[in-house]
Amino acid sequence: MSRGTSFPAVCLVPGEASGPLALLTHPLSLWGGFDPHTGRVTDENHPQCGLQIGGRVLLMPGGRGSSSSSSVLLESARLQAHPLAIVLVEPDPILVVGALVAADLYDVHIPVVSVAAAVLARFEGAAEARVDARPGHARVGFL
């Protein structure tokens, strides 16, 4: 892994963000698995329970259901405890809706992109990441 390396992505919600990285090895449901007040993973069955994802670029394989996850993401945006960006292997329309509504209601922009599964593994051990999500040209990289 070298500083400045980036990978192609698909833009789901446009925007740019960079910051500390939170890499989840398993999908997460924000409904019941994430505290929108603290920005931490709270699902006791999740391997990264307790990890801070608010204020970080979140990389994970995908969401794990509950249509209410969009509401939890929206609430975390209102409380300023949201992920700075979300990078997924499996696109999740529920998280996309939450990010779009956060921009509309609170002017909080949470870019969302999807990447190939192999890209997620390349971020293991990285401390910071950058997301540049533009329609037709999206990239995710190390800082």
Instruction: For 109-136, write each residue's pLDDT tens digit.
Output: 999 999 999 999 899 989 999 999 999 9
**Which residue in the list 6, 18, 29, 66 is annotated as catalytic?**
66
Give me the domains of the chain, ranges plus CATH numbers: 6-142 (3.50.30.10)
Instruction: For 26-36, write each residue's pLDDT tens digit.
Output: 999 999 999 99
**CA quadruple 67, 68, 69, 74: dihedral sign:** positive
Whole-number Å distance between alpha carbons of 35 and 54:
9
Intervals of the chain under pLDDT 70: 1-3
Is residue 18 flagged as an active site residue?
Answer: no
Reported pTM: 0.95
